[in-house]
Amino acid sequence: MTDKKSDTRSAAIAAGVILLVATAVLYLMPNVIVWLGTISPWLGTGFGVLVILAFFFVFWLRARYQRRKEP
C-alpha cells in the first residue's frame, strides 16, 4: 500500500512541472509563431496547433497513467 502523503506530493510536483513548462511554452509561442509566419503562414499556424494539442496530450497521458496505476 502506498503512502497518501507521497501520492499527494507526487501529484503536486507533476502539476507544478506541467504548469511551469506550459507557462514558458505559451509565453514564447507568439514570438515563435510570428517568426515562423515570416517563412510561411502555414508553418506558423501548424506550430500553434501542435503546441495547443501537445498541451492537451500531456494531460491525456497523465490521466491514462493514473488510471493504469490505480488497483
Q: What are the extents of the domains in the chain?
A: 4-69
Closest CA to 59 of 17, 7, 2, 1: 17
Helices (H), the chain: 4-39, 41-69
Cβ partners under 8 Å of residue 33, min gap 6: 44, 45, 47, 48
pLDDT band at 1 (very low <50, low <70, confident <90, very high): very low
pLDDT band at 39 (very low <50, low <70, confident <90, very high): very high
Q: Quick check: 24 pLDDT over 80?
A: yes
Question: Would the pTM of this model clear 0.75, i.e. be above it?
Answer: no
**What per-residue confidence (pLDDT) applies to 3?**
63
Cβ partners under 8 Å of residue 25, min gap 6: 51, 55
